């Protein structure tokens, strides 16, 4: 079984509430769930949709076809009626749309009237719609009732009862009136899954890593990280500061880090443009900081609420001067959780800036997982503190060492001064102008650290046929869509995937010779959500391998499974002549 539900309507009509609730219900039943959203940059109006795919097998992308379309405005019909499968259904309220439809696929459900009859509150029309979907699938309402109680208990018993009654009314109406409903639901013995999106996973990774200071200026798609951590700041003793701009945000994070705590900031491309001088300051002063950079289509404001992978070259080259940095681009919320932890660890260990590079798509997409393994979380305090610091006879913040890593003392923990400067400096941190010290400092900050950092980088994930004739290559958020494409095409062809999530310093071939796989394949295709193939350029720069085939999507929308499989097949046919 593999079903897709799409909810379409205007901003402000509760589209996300319906989608979120249904996704939670399916995940608590033990089904695998994948969701994605499409919304415009406005509070009310426009056209939005929320898509849920659920199955008894793992799912990690969206299909083109829809099995149930819930319609709250005329645009939803105009845009999405062609996507409804041959046996699919369109449910709507003719009182809301002011239109009655007679086609076989349409089922008119009086969302508002049923809500008013059962709760005296037309706002609960959304709960009627949720109940109706579960009625069409003949799924038990118990989990939904529990969820409604959890959600609305603070608002009082009457609100809970009204929602429960509305859900039951929608359920009964759909069950009794949908004569074409013949969905097959395969029972699962799975325990309930956790349902988490990329933003939540990054925030959870930061909290689990001991982040104690987060500063940011709100900017989609990174704002959710700040909101999530702020909601937990009292529970985990974290300071969250909404700065007046991104210049302040990164400098606050650097100040907190210099003062002795793990710190983080987050932004999108436009905000990161303002952070660049602060990034260089981190490079010169060897101050660890984690930066969550959420990509969205630019330039300038671009598409504020849509997706793109077009800031890879920007983050690779941002800031003046030469200094090490690491860039991770998680492909799933699970990877986002663990890679955020790794970013904190390496950033602190080598005293460098670390990036979590994500995009709007993975920020919003929800996946189901069994649970995150906290035993995999690494926490080492690399700072020089308390007695260890006090016992030193002398201290130099930027002391030359064999590894290039200087002891990082916490100011105030000992009598020793902790000095640094944005100008070139000596071992103590004081400004210098001499050439000899400059050369030694560059060897310390850059040449000695980079080989050590590179050893920490894991190779790409390889998935599929062990001797593939076709290799699909991707990075970041394209993980799920490429993996499912491999599964679908592998029935007829020898195909595999290479997915890069630790992308800078670029992984060497010592741990895994991925270049051998690329060179032995008949066709290799680099798949990216940008116009110019930024990752393909990075691969060529770092390895010399040149992709002859690329699939690039840059309309602000993510790939869909059916669309990408079609594009891959066309590319293979054309390449074979």
223-252 average pLDDT score: 98
Cα–Cα dist 370/64, whole Å:
27
Cα–Cα dist 523/529, whole Å:
20
Tell me the per-residue pLDDT of 154-197, one tens digit each, with 9 for 90 and over.
Answer: 999 999 999 999 999 999 999 999 999 999 898 888 899 999 99
The per-residue pLDDT of the chain, averaged, comes to 96
Task: Give pLDDT, residue 46.
Answer: 87
Dihedral sign for Cα 287, 288, 294, 298, please. positive
Q: Which residues of 346-382 are buried (b: 16+ CB within 10 A; e: fewer)?
A: bbbbbbbbbbbbbbbbbbbbbbbbeebeeeebeeeee
Tell me the per-residue pLDDT of 340-383, one tens digit each, with 9 for 90 and over.
Answer: 999 999 999 999 999 999 999 999 999 999 999 999 999 999 99
Please say if the pLDDT value at position 19 is more than 70. Answer: yes
Cα–Cα dist 67/278, whole Å:
49
Cα–Cα dist 331/322, whole Å:
28
Task: Give pLDDT, residue 555.
Answer: 97
Please say if the pLDDT value at position 566 is more than 70. Answer: yes
Q: Which residues of 462-491 are buried (b: 16+ CB within 10 A; e: fewer)?
A: ebbeeebebbbbbbbbbbbbbbbbbbbbbe
Task: Give pLDDT, residue 577.
Answer: 53
The values of phi and psi at residue 526, to 5°, are: -95, 125
Cα–Cα dist 162/566, whole Å:
46
Please say if the pLDDT value at position 576 is more than 70. Answer: no
Residues in the chain, total: 577
Task: Give pLDDT, residue 345.
Answer: 98
Look up the pTM and report it: 0.96
> Which class for 525: exposed (0-12), middle (13-18), buried (19 or more C-beta within 10 A)?
buried
Q: Residue 299 — pLDDT band, cuts 50, 70, 90?
A: very high
* C-beta separation of 539 from 526 below 8 A: yes
């Amino acid at each position: 079984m593999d079903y897709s539900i799409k909810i379409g309507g205007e901003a402000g009509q509760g589209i996300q509430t319906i989608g979120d609730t249904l996704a939670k219900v399916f995940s608590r039943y033990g089904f695998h769930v994948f969701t994605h959203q499409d919304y415009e940059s406005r509070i009310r109006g426009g056209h939005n949709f929320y898509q849920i795919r659920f199955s008894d097998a793992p799912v990690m992308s969206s299909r083109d076809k829809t099995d149930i379309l819930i319609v709250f405005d005329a645009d939803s019909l105009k845009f999405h009626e062609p996507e409804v499968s041959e046996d699919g259904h369109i449910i709507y309220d003719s009182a809301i749309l002011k239109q009655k439809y007679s086609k076989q696929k349409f089922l008119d459900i009086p969302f508002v009237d049923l809500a008013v009859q059962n709760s005296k509150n037309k706002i609960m029309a959304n709960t009627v719609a949720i109940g109706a979907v579960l009625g069409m699938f003949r799924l038990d309402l118990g989990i939904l009732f529990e969820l409604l109680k959890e959600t609305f208990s603070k608002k009082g018993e009457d609100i809970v009862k009204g929602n429960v009654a509305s859900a039951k009314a929608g359920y009964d109406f759909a069950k009794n009136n949908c004569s074409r409903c013949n969905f097959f639901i395969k029972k699962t013995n799975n325990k309930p899954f956790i349902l988490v999106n990329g933003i939540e996973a990054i925030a959870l990774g930061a909290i689990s890593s001991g982040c104690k200071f987060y500063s940011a200026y709100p900017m989609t798609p990174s704002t959710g990280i700040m909101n999530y951590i702020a909601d937990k700041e009292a529970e985990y003793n974290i300071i969250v500061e909404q700065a007046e701009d991104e210049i302040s945000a990164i400098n606050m994070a650097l100040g907190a880090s210099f003062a002795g705590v793990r710190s983080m900031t987050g932004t999108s491309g436009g905000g990161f443009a303002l952070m660049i001088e602060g990034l260089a300051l981190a490079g010169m002063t060897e101050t660890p900081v984690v930066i969550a950079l959420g990509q969205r289509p630019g330039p300038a404001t671009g598409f504020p609420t849509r997706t793109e992978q077009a800031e890879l070259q920007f983050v690779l080259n941002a800031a003046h001067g030469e200094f090490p940095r690491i860039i991770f681009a998680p492909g799933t919320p699970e990877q986002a959780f663990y890679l955020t932890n790794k970013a904190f660890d390496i950033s602190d260990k080598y005293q460098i800036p670390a990036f979590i590079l994500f995009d709007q798509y993975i920020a919003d997409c929800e996946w189901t997982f069994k649970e995150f393994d906290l035993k995999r979380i690494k926490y080492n305090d690399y700072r020089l503190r308390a007695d260890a610091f006090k016992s030193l006879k002398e201290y130099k913040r930027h002391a030359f060492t064999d590894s290039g890593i200087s002891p990082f003392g916490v100011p105030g923990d000992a009598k020793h001064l902790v000095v640094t400067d944005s100008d070139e400096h000596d071992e103590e941190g004081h400004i210098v102008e001499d050439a000899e010290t400059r050369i030694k400092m560059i060897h310390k900050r850059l040449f000695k650290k980079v080989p050590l950092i590179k050893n920490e980088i894991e190779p790409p994930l390889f998935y599929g046929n062990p001797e593939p004739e076709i290799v699909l290559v991707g990075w970041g958020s394209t993980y799920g869509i490429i993996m499912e494409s491999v599964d679908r095409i592998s029935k007829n062809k020898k195909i595999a995937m290479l997915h890069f999530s630790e992308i800078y310093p670029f992984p060497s071939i010592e741990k895994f010779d991925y270049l051998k796989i690329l060179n032995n394949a008949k066709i290799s295709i680099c798949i990216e959500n940008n116009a110019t193939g930024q990752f393909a350029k990075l691969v060529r720069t770092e390895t010399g391998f040149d992709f002859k085939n690329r699939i690039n999507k840059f309309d602000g929308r993510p790939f869909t499974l059916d669309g990408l499989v079609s594009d891959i097949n066309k590319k293979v046919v054309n390449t074979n002549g």
